[in-house]
C-alpha cells in the first residue's frame, strides 16, 4: 500500500464538501492521486464516495482511508464503532476500508474500547489495515499491547515546522508508516525563507518543496488538502523532486517549531 510511491502523496479532504468538493476530489483522482483520506468528523464521506464513482479510476487502484473517533460522540461504545464503520462503508460506496484510523483519542479508556473492535473488523475482512491518529508514543505502545494484529500507520501533524523527530523514529522502529497531515503548516511554509530559497533553486513552489521534504523521509506519507484543481495537480510534482543534502540541511535548520492542531485537552 504505502510502500508504493504513488500512494505516498495522498489527498486530504478536510472541508471538501458539496459539489465543489466532489469536483475537486474527482479532479485529483483523475490527475493521478491514488490515496484519499477522509473521516467521519469531516462529514464528507458521501462526497468522497461520489468522487470515486465519478472518476476514471478503478476502485482496486485506490487507497481509501477514513477515521472514527474524536468529537462525533462522547462515549465510543463498541456498537458505536461498529455502526459507524457500517455507515462509512455505505457513504463511501466501498465493500472494504483500506485503512481505518482511530481519530484523536480523548482518554486511554477510549483506546481500550475502540482498538479491539478495529481488530474484530480487521479479522472479518471489513478493514484491510488498522491505523491510529494523533497517538503519542505511549498511546501507540498501549495499542500494540492491546491487539494481536499489526498497526499500519500513525497519522500526525508533520511539516518542516514540526518535524516530529522522536515520534517519527519510534514509529519507524515499530514498522509503522507516519502519515503527515497539515503538511504545508496551513500555508505558513510559503513564507519561510529557507523553504522559499530551496524552491527558487529548483524553480518550483514552497508547497512542492515541503512535500518533497516529507517524502524524503523513509516511511512518511503526506496528505495535502486543497480545493484548487491547479494546486492539487501542482502538488504531484513533489513525487519527482529530489532534494539534495544541502536542501535537506537548509530545511532542517529552520528554528521556528510549532504545531497548529493543539486542543486544550491534549497533552503532548
58-105 pLDDT tens trace: 999 999 999 998 665 666 689 999 999 999 999 999 999 999 999 999
Can you give the pLDDT at residue 69? 84
CA distance 201 to 238: 14
Q: What radius of gyration, in Å, describes the C-alpha atoms of the chain? A: 18
Can you give the pLDDT at residue 106? 84
Can you give the pLDDT at residue 95? 97
Q: Give alpha helix (H) positions in the chain.
A: 18-31, 45-54, 78-92, 108-124, 137-146, 165-173, 193-202, 206-215, 229-235, 245-252
Q: Could you report how far apart the first and last alpha carbons of the chain are, in Å?
A: 29
Can you give the pLDDT at residue 72? 58
Can you give the pLDDT at residue 229? 87
Q: In what order do the strands lie in the sheet with 11-12?
A: 11-12, 35-37, 63-69, 97-103, 127-133, 151-157, 177-181, 220-222
**Residues identified as active-site:** 42
Residue with C-alpha cell 486511554?
108
Residuewise pLDDT in 10s, the chain (268 residues): 998 989 999 999 999 999 999 999 999 999 999 999 999 999 999 999 999 999 999 999 999 999 998 665 666 689 999 999 999 999 999 999 999 999 999 888 899 999 999 999 999 999 999 999 999 999 999 999 999 999 999 999 999 999 999 999 999 999 999 999 999 999 999 999 999 999 999 999 999 999 999 999 999 999 999 999 899 999 999 999 999 999 999 999 999 998 998 888 788 7
- Buried b / exposed e along 123-133 (16+ C-beta atoms within 10 A): eeebbbbbbbb
Can you give the pLDDT at residue 141? 97
Amino acid at each position: 500500500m504505502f510502500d508504493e510511491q504513488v500512494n505516498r502523496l495522498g489527498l486530504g479532504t478536510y472541508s471538501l464538501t458539496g459539489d465543489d468538493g466532489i469536483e475537486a476530489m474527482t479532479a485529483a483522482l483523475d490527475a493521478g492521486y491514488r490515496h484519499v483520506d477522509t473521516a467521519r468528523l469531516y462529514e464528507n464521506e458521501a462526497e468522497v464516495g461520489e468522487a470515486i464513482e465519478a472518476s476514471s479510476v478503478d476502485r482496486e487502484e485506490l487507497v481509501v482511508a477514513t477515521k472514527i473517533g474524536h468529537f462525533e460522540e462522547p462515549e465510543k461504545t463498541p456498537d458505536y464503532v461498529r455502526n459507524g464503520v457500517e455507515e462509512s462503508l455505505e457513504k463511501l460506496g466501498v465493500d472494504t476500508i483500506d485503512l481505518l484510523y482511530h481519530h484523536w483519542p480523548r482518554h486511554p479508556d477510549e483506546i481500550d474500547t475502540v482498538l479491539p473492535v478495529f481488530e474484530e473488523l480487521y479479522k472479518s475482512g471489513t478493514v484491510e489495515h488498522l491505523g491510529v491518529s494523533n497517538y503519542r508514543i505511549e498511546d501507540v505502545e498501549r495499542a500494540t499491547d492491546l491487539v494481536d494484529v499489526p498497526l499500519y500507520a500513525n497519522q500526525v501533524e508533520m511539516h518542516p515546522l514540526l518535524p516530529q523527530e522522536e515520534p517519527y523514529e519510534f514509529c519507524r522502529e515499530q514498522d509503522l508508516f507516519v502519515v503527515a497531515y497539515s503538511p504545508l503548516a496551513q500555508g505558513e511554509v510559503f513564507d519561510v525563507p529557507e523553504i522559499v530559497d530551496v524552491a527558487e533553486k529548483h524553480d518550483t513552489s514552497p508547497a512542492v518543496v515541503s512535500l518533497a521534504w516529507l517524502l524524503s523521509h523513509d516511511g512518511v506519507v503526506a496528505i495535502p488538502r486543497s480545493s484548487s484543481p491547479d494546486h492539487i495537480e501542482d502538488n504531484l510534482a513533489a513525487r519527482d523532486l529530489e532534494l539534495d543534502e544541502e536542501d535537506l540541511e537548509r530545511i532542517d535548520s529552520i528554528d521556528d517549531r510549532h504545531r497548529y492542531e493543539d486542543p486544550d485537552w491534549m497533552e503532548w
